[in-house]
Amino acid sequence: MNLKHAVIGLLLTGASVTTIAQERKAPAYPLITHDTYFSIWTANDQINLSPTQHWSGSNSPLLAYAKIDGKTYRILGEKAKQYETVLPVSEEGSYQFSYTETTPVGDWTSAGYQETGWKKGDAPFGLNAGNPKTRWDSKNLWVRRTFELKETINTPLFLKMFYDDNVQVYINGEQVFSKEGWSNDYEYLPIADAVRAKLKKGKNVMAIHIVNTTGGQYLDAGLAKEIVDTKENVAVAQQKSVDIKATRTIYQMQCGNVAIDMTFTSPLLLDDLDLLSRPVSYISFNAKSTDNKAHEVQILFGASTDIASNRPAQQMKADQYSSGNLQILKAGTTEQTYLTRKANDSRIDWGYMYLAVPKQAETSSYLSKNFEGKVAGTSLSGSQLFLNAGLDLGKVSASGKEKYVMLAYDDIYSVQYFKTNLKPWWKEKGESIEAQLLKADQQYAEIMKKCIAFDESMYKKAERMGGTAYAELCELAYRQSISAHKLVKSPQDEILFLSKENYSGSFINTVDVTYPSAPLFLEYNPKLMEGMLNGVFYYSESGKWNKPYPAHDLGSYPLANGQTYGEDMPVEEAGNMIILTAAIAKGEGNAKYARKHRPG
């Protein structure tokens, strides 16, 4: 589904805004929304019943616990399942398959089978996509992988596999998985306890037959066991309400005799480009007593480094340091290869995520290998690490107390624009991410005031235009629409506001996606509308696109190096560009922008 269809679907789906027991519902609830990469949502109507996610569906875990008079409640997220590698897939370690592309004779799935005439090849196997190490371009492939176990496995066991397409998997001669179809990523497939019990110390064999029927082909397979948390003794807080505003999502959680308002604010105010481009969101915790008694309240917040990785197994480096009045935690992949991923279902794995809290006696920050894990010092390496903050609100009465954390992302380079890597807009003045965090902290009260005022103003205007249901739809669509874009400056010193087609072809700056999203930006800042057209005009006027009508797109996000869509749409795209240019003239009250692009 592309952005256009996603927005239309949001507006038309009956479940988008319903009132059930006075509670508002949404397909997904925005938490952190800045751009297509720094984007975290919850797909659950109750925020503490499932892990938070990137829009693609991959986990981007945020967790928060509230300790009330010594009793702990989970108020945000849920721990994602964690796995320990038993037999690595290729992203976790190098290994080889024995393989043949001709039908084997005999019981080729058994542990004692003689692999006479079989070849050896490094995993993964495939063709083109996924960077296979061994080329496989035939229809059928049979593979075997012999492995040693040092001990028996007594916890749930999973087959971890990426396959394309039809596949049958055997362990020690017994089938454990069969499917006609393919996966788009690694899947954890449960292995029956009876089969797991037959795994023995010493030699075991995994055997796979895979058939390519259409499209791509790929195979990578290993084993993992689930890490079972037997220590957690946490109650689930009651969610009393959720309220979605244009720039904020507000949850009221009940933890015993204490109510906690948890507010996620991404200050996407379109009339302030510096603030709009600042990649810092606030998560505020306001606690108050509901029984007229004072209660001791502490908040523990954690953000997983999965937010800064494309795959959970990627190696991360995390550090702790101070800057000005802030305690800062920073994490990113060890590879740091910029602008290398352009697939639709991919996440950023370059740049760095940050968790910052003001320096106070009542706040702390630390690194750990898992949420609530042991404090790890000022530097930590590994996968799926956690950046944590502790907020001690002390004695809380009915008047309430509030503290907040800031979550940020510095992508270093945002997009490649006709072979030139562009920094995010906020970096154009040479400021560091620490400077942005310090400003965000200093301006917290002012920014929250502006967001509240804008939220109220936008709602009232929309309500006057179309009623309550329309106003609520506008609130839902606001952050979703904006955060599908990235704000940068072109080498020609022009504003660029570049969109990504999510759940579609991953195209960047698609003209027929720009068109239906235009009313929002025309209403609040026509300069952003110019930023959505500038790249398309440049593409044509520079001669890089030499057809007598506009291109469909500028490439595949984040690489805006020229159209990648397989066909042209001359009438639709030309009509869109003409109408939008006229709309800018009307919105700005002059035709300067149109004259700039008029020939002659």
CB 194, CB 172: distance < 8 Å: no
| pLDDT for 55 | 92
CA distance 23 to 238: 14
Give tens-digit pLDDT for 69-100: 999 999 999 988 888 899 999 989 999 999 99
Preceding omega of 124 cis (within 30 degrees of 0): yes
Task: Dump strand ranges (E) for 373-471.
Answer: 379-382, 386-396, 401-410, 415-417, 420-422
| pLDDT for 231 | 62
* N-to-C CA span, the chain: 40
| pLDDT for 230 | 61
Give tens-digit pLDDT for 511-534: 999 999 999 999 999 999 999 999
CB 161, CB 206: distance < 8 Å: no
Report how far apart, in Å, the C-alpha atoms of 135 and of each of 101, 162, 352 are.
12, 16, 34
| pLDDT for 216 | 85
Give tens-digit pLDDT for 542-557: 999 999 999 999 999 9
Count of CB atoms within 10 A of residue 568's CB? 14
Nearest to 286 by CA among 255, 245, 247, 315: 255
Q: Inform me whether the pLDDT recorded for 43 exceeds 60.
A: yes
Q: Inform me whether the pLDDT recorded for 592 exceeds 50.
A: yes
The two tokens of residue 585 are 């003239």
Q: Which long-range contacts (CB under 8 A, 24 or more apart) does 585-590 make?
A: 587/522, 587/526, 587/529, 588/526
Average pLDDT, the chain: 92
Mean of pLDDT values over 312-332: 95
State the pLDDT confidence band at 227, using cuts at 50, 70 and 90.
confident
CB 97, CB 113: distance < 8 Å: no
| pLDDT for 600 | 65
Mean of pLDDT values over 39-61: 95
Nearest to 69 by CA among 258, 254, 253, 232: 258
Q: Inform me whether the pLDDT recorded for 336 exceeds 50.
A: yes
Q: What are phi and psi of 38, to 5 degrees?
A: -90, 80
**Residues paired with 305 in a beta bridge:** none
Nearest to 325 by CA among 359, 362, 280: 359
| pLDDT for 200 | 86
Question: What is the secondary structure of 304-366 as a DSSP string?
Answer: EGGGG-SSTTS-EEEEEEEETTEEEEEEEESS--TT----SS----SSEEEEEEE--TTEEEE
CA distance 348 to 329: 18
State the pLDDT confidence band at 25, using cuts at 50, 70 and 90.
confident
- Which residues, 6 or more positions from 421, have their beta carbon under 8 angstroms from its beta carbon? 338, 339, 413, 415
State the pLDDT confidence band at 20, using cuts at 50, 70 and 90.
very low
Mean of pLDDT values over 101-115: 94
Give tens-digit pLDDT for 409-436: 999 999 999 999 999 999 998 999 999 9
- Cα torsion through 118, 123, 129, 135, rounded to 10: -30
CA distance 189 to 496: 43
Q: What are the b/e assignments for 209-222, b being 16+ CB within 10 Å?
A: bbebeeeebbbbbb
CB 530, CB 514: distance < 8 Å: no
Mean of pLDDT values over 307-336: 95
Q: Inform me whether the pLDDT recorded for 8 exceeds 80.
A: no
The two tokens of residue 388 are 């944590």
State the pLDDT confidence band at 12, using cuts at 50, 70 and 90.
very low
Percent of the chain's residues with pLDDT above 90: 82
Instruction: Say if strands 316-323 and 71-76 run parallel, antiparallel, or are unpaired.
Output: unpaired
Mean of pLDDT values over 320-341: 94
Mean of pLDDT values over 207-235: 88
**Residues paired with 367 in a beta bridge:** 387
| Lowest model confidence (mean pLDDT) among 179-188, 452-461, 464-473 | 179-188
Give tens-digit pLDDT for 359-387: 988 999 999 998 877 787 899 999 999 99
The HSE-up count of residue 461 (CA atoms within 13 Å, CB side) is 12
With tokens 């998985």, the residue in question is 177
CB 552, CB 569: distance < 8 Å: yes
Q: What are phi and psi of 451, to 5 degrees?
A: -65, -45
Count of CB atoms within 10 A of residue 261's CB? 18
Mean of pLDDT values over 4-28: 47
The HSE-up count of residue 273 (CA atoms within 13 Å, CB side) is 21
State the pLDDT confidence band at 21, using cuts at 50, 70 and 90.
very low
Q: Inform me whether the pLDDT recorded for 7 exceeds 80.
A: no
State the pLDDT confidence band at 23, using cuts at 50, 70 and 90.
low
Mean of pLDDT values over 456-480: 96
State the pLDDT confidence band at 232, using cuts at 50, 70 and 90.
low
Mean of pLDDT values over 207-222: 94
Q: What type of residue sits at position 412? A: I
Q: Inform me whether the pLDDT recorded for 14 exceeds 50.
A: no
Give tens-digit pLDDT for 126-176: 987 778 999 999 999 999 999 999 888 888 999 999 999 899 999 999 999
CA distance 569 to 406: 43
Q: Is 412 left (phi over 0), alpha (psi -120 to 50) or beta?
A: left
Q: Is 488 helix (H, G, I), strand (E, B) or coil?
A: strand
CA distance 508 to 500: 5
Give tens-digit pLDDT for 284-298: 999 999 999 999 999
Q: Inform me whether the pLDDT recorded for 5 exceeds 50.
A: no
- Alpha helix ranges (H) inside 128-254: 193-198
| pLDDT for 505 | 82
Q: Is 107 helix (H, G, I), strand (E, B) or coil?
A: coil
Q: Is 446 helix (H, G, I), strand (E, B) or coil?
A: helix
Name the most confidently modeled range: 16-30, 220-234, 354-368: 354-368
| Lowest model confidence (mean pLDDT) among 7-16, 449-458, 531-540 | 7-16
